[in-house]
Amino acid sequence: MKLLHIDSSVLGDDSVSRSLSAEIVAKLKALHPSIDIVYRDLASDVVDHLSIGHIAARYGAPVEEKGLLGDIAKGEEYLAELADADIIVIGAPMYNFSVSSQLKVWIDRIVVAGRTFKYSETGEVQTLLPAAKKIFIASTRGSAYASGSPYAAFEHHESYLKGVFAFLGLHDVTIVRAEGLAYGPDARSAAISQARGEISAISA
Ligand SMILES: Cc1cc2nc3c(=O)[nH]c(=O)nc-3n(C[C@H](O)[C@H](O)[C@H](O)COP(=O)(O)O)c2cc1C
């Protein structure tokens, strides 16, 4: 069994999503002691933004530039890690109403026509990923976005991630959420405690 653990916060040791994603991984390791874990810290080790060179290479253009070759190779590693994973755990902070740009860059490398999905002739999306996967997202945000809240329409974070994974045929997504983190120390610690309670309830 393989677990892919991804962090994408730029806040280092102060990051809440990093500590929650680590706790989710520890819980899953306790449930599945022989699980193999691959870790990607997208804040310290990230691929470049897509460029015309990347897209041309996808369509068979020869690549001679060393930097681009290495970057494309790392994107291939991302694809292989995604395909191999049975479980994916993602630390996903909300920055400016969506995912961090570091996480978006990863998404740009794993949502690839002909590699992870294809369209049928009638326009349906077919996944090309080899197996179903379980996904856990440690979602952290300064404000709160429940339906009915004044900011609900700004929520392009969990809904975006769920949409991306559903597009790839991955529907088993569990969100562990700590929100309202900017509402003061009491609200912050209550939100983190609630998320920790959700983590201890993970049973598979
Ligand atoms: C650059 C930046 C942008 C942010 N944008 C938002 C935002 O749009 N909405 C929100 O509710 N919180 C926002 N926050 C607050 C973060 O979501 C909050 O600090 C959360 O803890 C981030 O997760 P992390 O601690 O793992 O980095 C932002 C924080 C930063 C640093």
Task: Name the percent of the chain lying above pLDDT 70.
Answer: 100
Mean pLDDT of the chain: 97
**Domain tally, the chain:** 1
Q: H/E/C letters for each residue in 169-195?
A: CCCEEEEEEEECCCCCHHHHHHHHHHH
Burial grade of 55 (CB within 10 A; 0-12, 13-18, 19 or more): exposed
C-alpha 197 to ligand 1 mean position (Å) = 22
121-170: pLDDT as tens digits: 999 999 999 988 999 999 999 999 998 999 999 999 999 999 999 999 99
Buried b (16+ CB within 10 A) or exposed e, 100-123: bebbbbbbbbbeeeebbbeeeeee
CATH number at residue 93: 3.40.50.360
78-98: pLDDT as tens digits: 999 999 999 999 999 999 999
Nearest atom within ligand 1 for CA of residue 98: 8
Task: Assess whether pLDDT exceeds 90 at residue 38.
Answer: yes
Maximum pairwise Cα distance, the chain: 56
- Residue type, position 177, single letter: R
- Residue 68: phi and psi, rounded to 5, are -65, -40
- Both tokens of residue 116? 């992870």
For atom 20 of ligand 1, the residue with the nearest CA is 141
Confidence of residue 46 (pLDDT cuts 50, 70, 90): confident
pLDDT for 31: 98
C-alpha 99 to ligand 1 mean position (Å) = 9
For atom 30 of ligand 1, the residue with the nearest CA is 95
Range of the domain at 73: 2-200
Confidence of residue 116 (pLDDT cuts 50, 70, 90): very high
For atom 17 of ligand 1, the residue with the nearest CA is 141
C-alpha 140 to ligand 1 mean position (Å) = 7
Q: What is the average per-residue pLDDT within 61-66?
A: 94
pLDDT for 204: 86
Confidence of residue 109 (pLDDT cuts 50, 70, 90): very high
Nearest atom within ligand 1 for CA of residue 9: 27
Let me know the angle formed at the C-alpha of 171 by 151 and 79, rounded to the nearest 5 degrees: 100
169-199: pLDDT as tens digits: 999 999 999 999 999 999 999 999 999 999 9
- What residues are in contact with ligand 1 under a 6 Å CB criterion? 9, 11, 15-18, 93-97, 140-143, 181-182
C-alpha 102 to ligand 1 mean position (Å) = 13
- Residue 37: phi and psi, rounded to 5, are -115, 130
